[in-house]
Homo-oligomer: A and B are copies of this chain.
């Protein structure tokens, strides 16, 4: 069987489950490479992918014999067939964080499930630690993102709108080998930069602006995520001090992103330093990155997760002064044995655009 499925099957056995229903399409893609609407059923011995006529051909051509997955057209499955998938099974796992309450009820009824058991992000936890192939894809997505930042430094001019810059980023990604955007680009200039999740507006870039650019692309399904805050013509001293404080913490966090450290302890380090300077950290310090741009672990002050080698996470401290300005600096990072290794490598020195 394929390695990722084997690993999952071993895991569910230790949880005393006789099978599992996988519904989250990203988890299905991770386990099988299939990108189609449908349900992956891990029965006691066999694996089934239940889909419909639109996808059968496509799915068959994606799978190999090693995958050991039987593809079924939902219209050929009778009421009795559904009930037979888990015949003589007791405990069947499901993704309680993905399926809706109505799907939960429907599955129990349709598959005649005795005991439908929550699996506590079992697949997402497996996804958190990346293999070599996955890290390669994320590295490539990050390299495209770095190239885009370099291009932006030469392209951004006073008079351009935030939306124009966001469009340039999207076009650059598409023309440079990315599948597309990993998430909606943030281009927040002037006082807009004080909103961490600002949506690009028609505001025109002007002298004295601070611009926060949070962008990422996908390469073969895998995401990058990087933020840089840049300046037009000048930086005043108040802003410089905040920038330096954010950068110092971003670098310290990078060093702390190593195997064995607790997410909450890394986060508290930043929270404490910000508070010492009368600021606060109003969002998470980082999050996992992979097939989704937001994955586990979340780096928050309550997160008991211990970092493991080859997790890929972001390091993104930010300070926001409402109505005035904001500074965020973010890299995508691989957790290493002794230090975090940034995959996004764009400069974090002051970038001041003069033109």
Contact = CB atoms under 8 A, between A and B. Distances in A.
State the majority secondary structure of interface residues on A.
loop
Nearest to A116: B101
A57 B322 CA distance: 8
A104 B118 CA distance: 13
A194 B61 CA distance: 14
Contacts of A195: 54, 57-58
A197 interface: yes
Contacts of A260: none
A55 B53 CA distance: 42
A338 to B, nearest CB: 33
A196 B96 contact: no
A100 B98 contact: yes
Interface in A15-31: none
Interface residues of A, number: 27
A99 B57 CA distance: 32
A94 B102 CA distance: 11
A117 to B, nearest CB: 11
Interface in A242-282: 282
A84 interface: no
How many monomers of this chain does the complex have?
Answer: 2
A174 interface: yes
A341 to B, nearest CB: 28
A118 B100 contact: no
A328 B174 CA distance: 28
Interface string A159-181: 00000000100000010000000
Contacts of A10: none
A54 B196 contact: yes
A237 interface: no
B96 A118 contact: no
A97 B97 contact: no
B102 A100 contact: no
A283 interface: yes
Interface in A33-72: 52-55, 57-58
A99 B98 CA distance: 9
Nearest to A121: B102
Contacts of A167: 174
Interface in A98-149: 98-102, 104-105, 118
A167 B54 CA distance: 24
B96 A97 contact: no
Nearest to A323: B57
B97 A118 contact: no
Contacts of A94: 101
Nearest to A98: B100
Contacts of A283: 53-54
Interface in A74-101: 94, 96-101
Contacts of A97: 100-102
A282 B283 CA distance: 47
Nearest to A283: B54
Contact of A101 (B58, B100, B196): B100
A267 B105 CA distance: 29
Counting from the closest, the 3 A-B pairs by CB-CB distance are A53-B282, A96-B102, A96-B101
